[in-house]
Amino acid sequence: MSEPLLTLEIEKLVAGGLGLARDDSGVVLVRGALPGERVTAEVRPGKGVRQGRVTELLRRSPDRVDAPDLPTADLAHASYAAQLEYKRGFVQEALQRIAKIQHEVEPTVASPQEWNYRNTAQYLITPQGFAYRERRGSGPLVFEKDPLVMPQIQAILDKLDPAQLDPATEVAFRASTLTDEVVAALIGAGEPKKFLRASDHLMDAGVAGVSLAEPAGKRFSAGVRLIAGENDILEQFGDVQVRVSAAGFAQVNPPAAGLAYAHAAQLAGKGDHAADLYGGAGAIARHLAPNFRRVTVLDTSAEALARGRQDVATAGLKNVAYRHGDAAEFAEMGADVIVVDPPRAGLDDTARQHIQHSTADRLVYISCDPATWARDVGELARYGWKLGSVTPHDFYPQTSHIEIVSVLNR
């Protein structure tokens, strides 16, 4: 049974890159639509807010451009200048609706590159070729070229025969803008010896190293083992060089992230002790290091902390220390400034309470989710913190995702 077609006027764009429209039955969120457009949309029936997708453009926005239809690029149909303005709007709307704060949001800082910027990608391996994991339930989407990834990754893909990667079910890549190297991680069940042919095929295609990860509900949570070559490669983030791996977390757009990290360090100012509570391998902390007598990095990932300690030792830094622990449970560290860059879920209540009861009088909050950031900012404002500058940074061109760099003071 086909879904009903509706003719709709798109009022605005909301988080997720969805066009908001209304009819007699309420709100409809339309994928692929832009503000000011009149569209025919196929809409799933249901109670509450309904969702649909554009089937025909009846009036086209001047911001619309031709774009590839990719599940990973939900804003590519808008010009890049329009994308930056929409993303600023996402942050502004979250502040007003969720935090209940009227506050100026600075213009979005553009990514140095609009396409071919991703230094990491993970694909399904299918008999038909490499595929995106389709998010809307229509199965894997096989592709020839990925316009979002760095050319170094595409060059490897062009040399690979997916059949030669059996029995792996997925493969992940990490490239370096600094060295042009690529490392890979195969995802599949079984002992490493089962994947030697796949590993050899990847090495022959030019990767610098291959790891193996067991399939798991949470990405790479079941452990990662090195099969061949190098586990990690060197990458430049702003003023510092850090080691990155195919299976470890690191920002996907190093030049854009470097701009945000330098901005965060500027907002943090100077002092005796800065604490970076979701610090990973310490790319942000090392930007803080020139302005503080000591910097403490706290994270739950032993892999990231090990990479960070190696990087600090290589760089000869003496004032950056790494500690294993959860930001929601950190003991009082006597910090002047706290920096947080939490996962999408934001700060939990315990972490907010610890920040409130800390000695810090400044909090630099970096976020990848406007809604959870606004929730936390609203809560901290009720504790007496005052929101300072708020600047969106675009790490993910052609998508609806946005990073926020902000500061709060007592």
Provide the residue type at 146 as one letter: D
CB 278 within 8 A of CB 284: no
Determine the Cα–Cα distance for residues 263 and 106; give it in Å rounded to an integer.
13
Listed residue (311, 310, 276) closest to 291, CA to CA: 276
CB 398 within 8 A of CB 75: yes
Provide the residue type at 380 as one letter: L
Contacts of residue 342, Cβ cutoff 8 Å, sequence gap at least 6:
277, 278, 327, 351, 367, 372
Provide the residue type at 29 as one letter: L
CB 238 within 8 A of CB 218: no
Distance separating the N- and C-terminal Cα atoms of the chain: 57
Per the annotation, the verdict on 256 as an active-site residue is: no
Beta-carbon neighbour count of residue 269 at 10 Å?
Answer: 15
- The alpha carbon of residue 7 and the mean position of all alpha carbons in its chain are separated, in whole angstroms, by 34
Burial of 27 (0-12, 13-18, 19+ CB in 10 A): middle
Per annotation, catalytic residue among 157, 165, 275, 368: 368
3-state percent helix, strand, coil for the chain, nearest multiple of 5? 25, 30, 40
Both tokens assigned to 283: 């790319």
Annotated catalytic residues are 368
